[in-house]
């Protein structure tokens, strides 16, 4: 089977992989040479140059998780890194009204929202029709049921209940999640921080928490709050600060060089 066919199979199965093709190569690596890199690091094919292949694998590891295809340059070699992967997941802790609005906005943006809350009377599919799944379990069990947290899984904690907030954070902080956001006032954030420190959470882990969650858009309704949260998630995923485009001097839409 060709590497292109393997790549197509991964895409058809909603898997995650990068197909790297040499577009312009030096004399030792001719154009058209390909390497397939899967999310678990397994590879098929070879670029025939150990140093270039290591650089290509690093490119794949970076781009696979943000589902972005780009051209990359390495010492005279130009690579096209073609990426396939499912949309990012958003796990929302707390079956509250804000969660319902966030699921609607996330789904409209092409993300896959999940709702987690052990209170089964609130965590029902009827209340969250846009969610891919509504899981009435404690955070650690719920995360295990969806296959754990990978680098394309973003977390939003909205419960306002210390028992559930802390359980969600303790389950998340040792994970590969690129984003962990928590709703609440600054006073609530300070109290939460005290509890987590008492539970043995270190400073480096605490710095991973985005709190209060969302960008400062000034909205107050559930829908406006959901937009602010999704705006921050999209900015983090695309490595942007989330400021106004009119105040930016850089390129509006970044593309591979």
Residue 8 lies in a domain: yes
Residue 154 lies in a domain: yes
Coil/strand/helix, residue 35: strand
Q: Are residues 185 and 153 in the same domain?
A: yes
Range of the domain at 74: 3-84
Q: Are residues 133 and 198 in the same domain?
A: yes
Mean pLDDT of the region 177-184: 94
Residue by residue, DSSP assigns 12-24 as HTT--EEEEEEEE
Residue 257 is predicted with a pLDDT of 41
Q: Are residues 119 and 174 in the same domain?
A: yes
Distance CA 18, CA 23 (A): 15
Mean pLDDT of the region 205-216: 94
Residue 60 lies in a domain: yes
- Residues β-bridged to residue 81: 20, 70
pLDDT digits (tens, 9 = 90+) for 22-69: 998 776 888 999 999 999 999 999 998 899 999 999 999 999 998 889
Q: Are residues 101 and 35 in the same domain?
A: no
N-term to C-term CA, the chain: 31
Q: Are residues 159 and 104 in the same domain?
A: yes
Mean pLDDT of the region 149-170: 93
Token match 């060709």: residue?
2
Q: Are residues 67 and 97 in the same domain?
A: no
Residue 249 lies in a domain: no
Residue 218: CATH number of its domain? 3.40.50.720
Residue 20 is predicted with a pLDDT of 97
Give the count of domains, the chain.
2
Report the C-alpha dihedral over residues 245, 249, 254, 255, rounded to 10 degrees. 140
Q: Are residues 159 and 182 in the same domain?
A: yes
């Amino acid at each position: 089977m060709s590497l292109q066919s393997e790549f197509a199979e991964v895409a058809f199965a909603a898997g995650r992989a990068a197909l790297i093709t040499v577009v312009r190569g030096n004399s030792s690596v001719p154009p058209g040479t390909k390497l397939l890199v899967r999310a678990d690091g397994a590879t098929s094919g070879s670029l025939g140059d150990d140093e270039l292949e290591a650089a290509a694998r690093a490119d794949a590891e970076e781009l696979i998780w943000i589902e972005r295809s780009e051209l990359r340059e390495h010492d005279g070699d130009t690579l096209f890194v073609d990426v396939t992967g499912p949309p990012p997941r958003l796990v929302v802790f707390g079956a509250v009204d804000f969660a319902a609005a966030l699921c609607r906005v996330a789904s409209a943006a092409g993300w896959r929202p999940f709702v987690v809350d052990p209170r089964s009377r609130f965590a029902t599919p009827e209340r969250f029709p846009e969610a891919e799944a509504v899981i009435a379990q404690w955070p650690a069990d719920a995360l295990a049921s969806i296959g754990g947290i990978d680098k394309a899984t973003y977390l939003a904690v909205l419960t306002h209940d210390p028992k559930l907030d802390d359980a969600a954070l303790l389950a998340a902080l040792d994970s590969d999640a690129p984003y962990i956001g928590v709703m609440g006032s600054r006073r609530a954030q300070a109290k939460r921080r005290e509890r987590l420190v008492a539970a043995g959470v270190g400073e480096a882990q605490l710095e991973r928490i985005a709190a209060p969650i969302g960008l400062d858009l000034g909205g107050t309704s559930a829908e406006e709050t959901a937009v602010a949260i999704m705006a921050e998630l999209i900015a983090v995923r695309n490595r942007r600060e989330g400021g106004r485009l009119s105040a930016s001097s850089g390129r509006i839409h970044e593309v591979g060089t």
